[in-house]
């Protein structure tokens, strides 16, 4: 038994060394042009199909545990924008799903396989469609780069679950049980997704290029982050989720400005969007989100941990 444990630890250490080397190998994508770079490589136990099934299962849990905004006009606008940006992403060949969570919290998150959620609180605060486009594109960037399943793969290796996952996605399989013992609930899974500085920078880099190609003003990403920094000082609780899940704000603003310098966008005309203006008007007339009616926010539960996902 002792010898077997030593062998297991030895094998695990080799795999971890391989994982680290394989994950770090290669040129950082944001040092190349958007057209020539490929993203999404690196250590990943999940195939594209498995990733899609994983995201679909988690999305069901999201929508059971969180109120989804039912207004069709607003939902249609967000989906339309998301689909437009996704067509210009590095992974345009998968189905994307965009929905609005009816909460006052300012944040957005994505699940593996193209399931993206924008909080109503964020929609309330954006003043221009380019600001919203920057948020949506950032989440698409995480999906395109497959950050979710790459992080989960690392966690599975660290936990010693060195299994194939082709059968594990099935809810009734024993292998799925092994994975969920590590990933736990959806909230815990997303809560442990602490993405690296390079993951965030890659998603930002992808986002700026995506919205530029989709016809939105790429400066919107920078103006939104600067706005959040200012507003956070006056109302920190409302922005807590955003800053927990999107760290290193000053550095990221600096990096985004460097990327903007590489794009020929200043000569373009960026007309306003009457539909965006209509969305803002409709939002202002809707009943407040369910969590806005509470005198004090409820303590964070595992389910609410999904809203602190770094996606």
Give the domain ranges of the chain: 39-308
Measured CA to CA, the distance from residue 246 to residue 155 in angstroms comes to 20
Q: pLDDT, tens digit, for every residue of 268-294? A: 878 889 999 999 999 999 999 997 655
- The CA distances from residue 64 to 68, 101, 130, 171, 185, in Å, are 9, 11, 30, 17, 13
Mean pLDDT value of segment 177-205: 65
pTM, full prediction: 0.79
pLDDT bin (cut points 50, 70, 90) of residue 302 is: very low
More confident residue, 203 or 180: 203
pLDDT at 307: 33
Report yes or no: 107 and 121 within 8 Å, Cβ to Cβ: yes
Mean pLDDT value of segment 185-214: 78
Mean pLDDT for the chain? 77
More confident residue, 108 or 252: 108
Mean pLDDT value of segment 206-210: 95
Model confidence at 147: pLDDT above 50: yes
pLDDT at 135: 95
The residue count for the chain: 311
Model confidence at 89: pLDDT above 60: yes
Q: Would strands 108-111 and 115-119 be described as parallel, antiparallel, or unpaired?
A: antiparallel
pLDDT bin (cut points 50, 70, 90) of residue 178 is: low
pLDDT bin (cut points 50, 70, 90) of residue 309 is: very low
Model confidence at 121: pLDDT above 60: yes
Measured CA to CA, the distance from residue 111 to residue 97 in angstroms comes to 10
pLDDT at 127: 93
Using a pLDDT cut of 70, give the percent of the chain over it.
66
Report yes or no: 208 and 221 within 8 Å, Cβ to Cβ: yes
Model confidence at 267: pLDDT above 50: yes
Report yes or no: 201 and 106 within 8 Å, Cβ to Cβ: no
Report yes or no: 276 and 77 within 8 Å, Cβ to Cβ: yes
């Amino acid at each position: 038994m002792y010898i077997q444990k030593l062998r297991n630890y030895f094998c695990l250490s080799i795999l971890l060394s391989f994982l680290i080397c394989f994950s770090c190998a290669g040129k950082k994508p944001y040092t190349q042009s958007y057209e020539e770079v490929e993203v999404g490589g690196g250590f990943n136990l999940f195939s594209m199909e498995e990733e899609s099934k994983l995201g679909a299962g988690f999305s069901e849990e999201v929508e059971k545990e969180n109120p989804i905004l039912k207004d069709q006009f607003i939902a249609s606008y967000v989906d339309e924008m998301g689909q437009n940006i996704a067509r210009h992403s590095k992974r345009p060949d998968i189905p994307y799903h965009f929905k609005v969570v009816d909460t006052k919290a300012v944040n957005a998150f994505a699940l593996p396989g193209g399931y993206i959620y924008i909080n109503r609180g964020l929609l309330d605060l954006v003043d221009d469609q380019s600001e919203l486009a920057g948020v949506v594109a950032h989440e698409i960037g995480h999906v395109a780069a497959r950050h979710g399943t790459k992080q989960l793969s690392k966690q599975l290796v660290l936990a010693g679950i060195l299994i194939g996952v082709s059968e594990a996605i099935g809810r009734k399989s024993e292998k799925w049980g092994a994975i969920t013992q590590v990933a736990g609930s959806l909230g815990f899974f997303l809560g442990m997704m602490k993405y690296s500085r390079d993951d965030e920078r890659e998603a930002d880099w992808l986002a700026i290029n995506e919205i530029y190609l989709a016809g939105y003003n790429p400066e919107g990403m920078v103006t939104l982050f600067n706005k959040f920094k200012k507003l956070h000082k006056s109302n920190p609780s409302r922005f807590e989720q955003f800053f927990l899940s999107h760290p290193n704000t000053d550095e990221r603003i600096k990096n985004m400005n460097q990327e903007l310098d590489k794009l020929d966008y200043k000569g373009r005309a960026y007309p306003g969007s009457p539909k965006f203006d209509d969305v803002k008007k409709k939002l202002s007339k809707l009943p407040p989100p369910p969590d806005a009616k509470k005198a004090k926010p409820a303590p964070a539960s595992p389910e609410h941990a999904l809203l602190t996902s770094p996606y």
